[in-house]
A and B are shown apart, each in its own frame.
Chain A
Amino acid sequence: MSDGLAIRLRGVVKRYGAITAVDHLDLDVPVGTCVGLLGPNGAGKSTTMRILTAQSIADEGEIEVLGFRLPRESKAARAECGVVPQLDNLDTTLTVQQNLLVFTHLYRIGRADRAEAIERALKMANLVDRRDTRVDKLSGGMRRRLLIARALVHRPRLVLMDEPTVGLDPQVRQELWALIDALRSEGTTILMSTHYIEEAQRLADTVLIMSHGSAVAAGPPAELVTKHAGSQVLEVYGPPTRLAEVESEAGAAGLRTRRTGTSISVLGVDANGDHSFEGERRPANLEDVFVLLTGEEID
């Protein structure tokens, strides 16, 4: 692998007719890290994921996964990757164990190692007691855990997770975060797309913010926040006329702002204490960075 990178994309472009879904994307995923692709729906995250499994063929650019050149060597790369899809594609009439069994074959695990691989995956996903349950009888959270277990059944070197917690309630999401965090702690390389700010902030070592198919910023979450939004944000509430005044005054003072419905957020107030705004102070977060850089609201 080049320079310790599990994934290396350079200038990747994918077009669908007049629409450019991925636009000259560069991406590095170092071995043993968790990288989050953060962006709203339509930012190009899922297309990027499909390109990495050669289910989508890029029009331009260089793609290397685990040292294999794509799309030519994608099959070899896929043998060492695990994929957690955004949409549930389990075999619903099969049991949990049967679903895993099928994938031990698809991932070419030897006969002698299959039972152990299934057992390990069941334990990791906390589904041991559900091994004989048909998938259509599982809850949404269990099905998601099974999808993750299925992706890990062959001990992949790299795991691609496309919106792993989308559509789940907060409690189940927390369960899955714990599971992903455990994987990350074990040193598994993870590339995860998400449009949940908190998910990216909590799980990713590095976040790549995507908008309209392009990367607009990349770095550790805390670093991105400090660099683009400072450490403190002042949330000012008031009628529209007051918010407009604050926006104008902040602009004149060299401060960046973002509108958030009934309030306006003044960013970087820690770096510039010379202002007359009154409001609630809160720590700056990735969402501030995202809105600043892309002009789009997320989630």
Chain B
Amino acid sequence: MAAATSPRLGRLERPALTGVLVREVVNFSSFWRSTTFSSTVEPTIYLLAFGFGFGALVGRIEGHRTIDFIATGTVATAVLFSAAFPAMFGTFVKYQFQRTYDAILAAPVDTEELVTAEALWIATRAGLYGCVPLLVAMAFGLNPSWGMLVVPLIAWTAGFGWACFGITVAGFAKSFENFNYIVSAVLTPLFLVAGTFFPLSRLPRWGQVLGELNPLHHCVQLVRDAVFGFAGWVDLARYGALVLFGLAMWRLAIHAMERKLID
């Protein structure tokens, strides 16, 4: 017989990523309504409840109307909700119950490509859904600005990190119940100490330091600065932090899923 003629395939190949993405897009076509509904209505309710609720008590925060302040913060919340949660639950269901990943890995796709494509897809969705609170706020009087055009990029970058975070959690989880620890002990504190509803400067010093380590806070600040005016190098550093968070989580997610899927 002749020797094998196909070349050795490389890492992170576009056809493999495309294959996984096509699967996600085709699947999404069957449930986009419910996902879009929950991913847009939930942050909108937060925005309206806190915006108008607090707004009645506190007229302005850091010089901005309360609803504008909260709307810019709620972008990060929407990104978190539409990236970390689908990644955690979706990944777990796909490998544990649907065995989808067994089917994909039997094709010429590696775990690294599988995880990357899944995270890219979730990040793209999060990037879009993250913009909804801004649109709602604009309907309630938020002034449009050119900086808003980079909000999808900020949301996408943060979404990629949170998607990889969710995949990592799913990769290490042994059951759905394990997610309770992550939601209560990690996501909820990060969500509350991100500067979404109040400025971190109101926290004690240690709280402010912890807040600066919170990727969600960088997303909140970046979106706020994009809407109200960039803060130069500080924002670049914040974006760098989001990129670093995404890269670190990406590698960790690959490691976790290789551990889970390849024995």
Residue from the list A53, A67, A92 in contact with B106, Cβ < 8 A:
A53
Complex CA gap A108/B22 in Å reads 12
Tell me if B15 counts as interface (CB < 8 A to partner A): yes
Known: A57-B263, A106-B19, A107-B108. A31 touches B103 (CB 8 A): no
A80 & B1 in contact (Cβ 8 Å cutoff):
no
Give Cα A93 to B107, complex, Å: 21
* Chain A to chain B: the 9 pairs with minimum beta-carbon distance, closest first: A67-B4, A106-B19, A83-B106, A89-B99, A106-B107, A79-B108, A105-B19, A1-B1, A75-B9
Least CB distance from B260 to A in Å reads 11
Taking CB atoms, residues of chain A closer than 8 Å to B23 are 91, 102, 105-106
Cβ contacts under 8 Å, B6 to chain A: 68, 76, 79-80
Tell me whether A76 and B105 are in contact in the complex, defined as CB-CB below 8 angstroms, given that A1-B1, A56-B262, A94-B30 are known contacts: no
Interfacial chain A residues near B31, Cβ < 8 Å: 93
B223 interface contact, C-beta 8 A: no
**Candidates B9, B22, B99; contact of A79 at CB < 8 Å:** B9
| CB pair A85 B106 closer than 8 Å | yes
List residues of B (1-60) whose CB comes within 8 Å of A's CBs: 1-4, 6-9, 15-16, 18-20, 22-23, 26-27, 30-31
Judge whether B107 and A103 touch: CB under 8 Å. Answer: yes
Note all chain B residues with C-beta closer than 8 A to A75: 8-9, 108-110
Q: Closest approach, in angstroms, between the C-beta of A187 and any C-beta of chain B?
A: 14
B261 at the interface (CB under 8 A from A): yes
A-B contact pairs, 17 of them (CB 8 A): A1-B2, A1-B3, A55-B262, A66-B4, A67-B3, A75-B109, A78-B107, A80-B6, A89-B98, A91-B98, A92-B98, A93-B31, A94-B26, A94-B30, A101-B22, A102-B23, A105-B22
Question: Does chain B have a CB within 8 A of A98?
Answer: yes
Bound Cα distance from A100 to B109, whole angstroms: 16
State the total of A-B contacts with C-beta under 8 angstroms.
Answer: 109
Interface string of A238-255 (1 = CB under 8 A from B): 000000000000000000
Q: Is A54 an interface residue (CB 8 A)?
A: yes
Bits for A48-89, please: 1 = Cβ < 8 Å to B, else 0: 001001111100000000111000110110111101010111
Task: Tell me the bound Cα distance from A132 to B80 in angstroms.
Answer: 36
Chain A nearest CB from B5 CB (Å) reads 8
- Asked if A278 CB lies within 8 Å of chain B CBs, one says no
Interface residues of A (CB under 8 A from B): 1-5, 16, 31, 50, 53-57, 66-68, 72-73, 75-76, 78-81, 83, 85, 87-94, 98, 101-103, 105-108, 150
Residues B101-136 near A (CB distance < 8 A)? 102-110
9 A-B pairs besides A67-B4, A108-B19 with CB distance below 8 A are: A56-B263, A75-B110, A76-B6, A76-B108, A79-B9, A79-B108, A85-B106, A87-B99, A90-B103
Q: List residues of B whose CB falls within 8 A of some A CB.
A: 1-4, 6-9, 15-16, 18-20, 22-23, 26-27, 30-31, 98-100, 102-110, 261-263
A107 to B27, CA, bound (A): 18
Q: Which of A66, A87, A108 contacts B108 (CB 8 A)?
A: A108
A228 to B62, CA, bound (A): 88
Instruction: Indicate if the CB atoms of A76 and B7 lie closer than 8 Å.
Output: yes
Q: Name the residue on B nearest A78 (C-beta).
A: B108
A199 vs chain B, min Cβ distance (A) = 21
- Which residues of chain B are near A72, meaning CB under 8 Å? 8
The residues of B that contact A150 with a CB separation of less than 8 Å are 103
Chain A residues, Cβ within 8 Å of B104: 106
B109 CB contacts on chain A under 8 angstroms? 75, 106
* Across-interface contacts of B107 in A (CB, < 8 A): 78-79, 103, 106-107
Given A105-B23, A108-B15, A55 contacting B105 (CB threshold 8 A): yes
Q: Which residues of B contact A103 (CB under 8 A)?
A: 107
The CA of A239 and the CA of B207, in the complex, are separated in Å by 83
Chain B residues with Cβ under 8 A from A73's Cβ?
8
Which chain B residue lies CB-closest to A134?
Answer: B30
A24 to B262, CA, bound (A): 20
Q: Which residues does chain B contribute within 8 Å of A68, judged by CB atoms?
A: 4, 6, 8
Given contacts A55-B102, A89-B102, is CB(A106)–CB(B4) below 8 Å?
Answer: no
**A57: min CB distance to chain B, Å:** 6
Complex contacts, B263 vs chain A, CB 8 Å: 16, 50, 55-57
Q: Which residues of A contact B9 (CB under 8 A)?
A: 75-76, 79
B150 to chain A, nearest CB (A): 32
A residues within 8 A CB of B103? Answer: 83, 85, 89-90, 150
What residues of B have a CB within 8 angstroms of the CB of A66 in the complex? 4
* B91 CB, min distance to chain A CBs, angstroms: 15
Chain B residues contacting A31 (CB-CB under 8 Å) are 1
Q: What's the Cα separation between A108 and B110 when bound, in Å? A: 14
CB-contact partner of A98 in B2, B26, B99, B108, under 8 A: B26
